[in-house]
Amino acid sequence: METVFITGSAGFIGFYVAKALLEQGYSVVGYDNLDDYYDIRLKRTRINLLEQYEKFVFYEADICDDDKLEEAANIHSIDYVIHLAAQAGVRYSLTCPEKYIETNIVGTFRILELCRRHQISHLMYASSSSVYGEAEEEKLRVDLKTDAPVSLYAATKKSDEVLVHTYCNNFGINGLGMRFFTVYGPLGRPDMAYWKFADKILCNEPIKVFNYGKQYRDFTYIDDLVDGVLGLFSHFKRLPQKGSYEIYNIGSGNPVELMTFIKTIEEVIGKEARKIMCEKRTGDVEKTYADITEIQRVCAFCPRTNIKDGLERFYNWYREYNRKDA
Confidence (pLDDT) at 282: 73
Per residue in 191-203, pLDDT tens?
999 999 999 999 9
Alpha helices in the chain (DSSP H): 12-23, 40-50, 66-75, 90-95, 97-100, 107-117, 152-171, 193-202, 222-237, 258-269, 293-298, 307-325
Q: How far apart are CA 146 and CA 139, in angstroms?
A: 14
290: nearest Cα among 256, 258, 253: 253
The burial of 287, by beta-carbon neighbours within 10 Å (0-12 exposed, 13-18 middle, 19 or more buried), is given as middle
The pLDDT tens digits of the residues spanning 92-137 come to 888 889 999 999 999 999 999 999 999 999 999 999 999 999 887 8
- Name the residue ranges covered by the structural domains of the chain: 3-182+222-251+289-303
DSSP string, 237-295: HTS-SS--EEEEEES-S--EEHHHHHHHHHHHHTSPPPEEE-PPPTT--SB--B--HHH
Q: Across all residues in the chain, what is the average pLDDT?
A: 93
153 carries an active-site annotation = yes
Instruction: Give the active site residue among 31, 38, 125, 153.
Output: 153
Is it the case that residue 146 has pLDDT exceeding 90? Answer: yes
| Closest by Cα among 179, 311, 204, 195 to 256 | 311
In this predicted structure, the answer to whether residue 19 has a pLDDT above a threshold of 70 is yes
Q: Is the pLDDT of residue 238 over 90?
A: no
Torsion sign (Cα): 241, 243, 244, 248: positive
pLDDT tens for 36-81 read: 888 999 999 999 999 999 999 999 999 999 999 999 999 999 999 9
Cα separation, 121 vs 77, in Å, equals: 12
Q: Which of residues 26 and 38 earns the better pLDDT score?
A: 26
The CA distance from 228 to 175, in Å, is 16
Please give the helix or strand (H or E) that residue 85 lies within, else none.
Answer: none
- Each residue of 309-318: pLDDT tens digit? 999 999 999 9
Q: How far is CA 250 from CA 57, 115, 129, 234, 323, in A?
A: 27, 24, 9, 15, 33
Q: Is the dihedral of CA 7, 12, 18, 20 positive or negative?
A: negative
Banded model confidence at residue 324, pLDDT cuts 50, 70, 90: low
What number does CATH give the domain 3-182+222-251+289-303? 3.40.50.720
The whole-number pLDDT of residue 326 equals: 46
Q: Do the beta carbons of residue 9 and residue 58 sit within 8 Å?
A: yes
- Show the 3-state SS of 47-69: HHHHCCCCCEEEEECCCCCHHHH
Alpha carbon distance 291, 181 (integer Å): 11
pLDDT band of 91, cuts 50, 70, 90: confident
User: Looking at residues 163-189, what average pLDDT do you find?
Assistant: 96
Closest CA to 72 of 129, 119, 131, 31: 31
What pLDDT score was predicted for residue 21? 98
The span from the CA of 4 to the CA of 237, in Å, is 11
Mean pLDDT of 243-272: 95
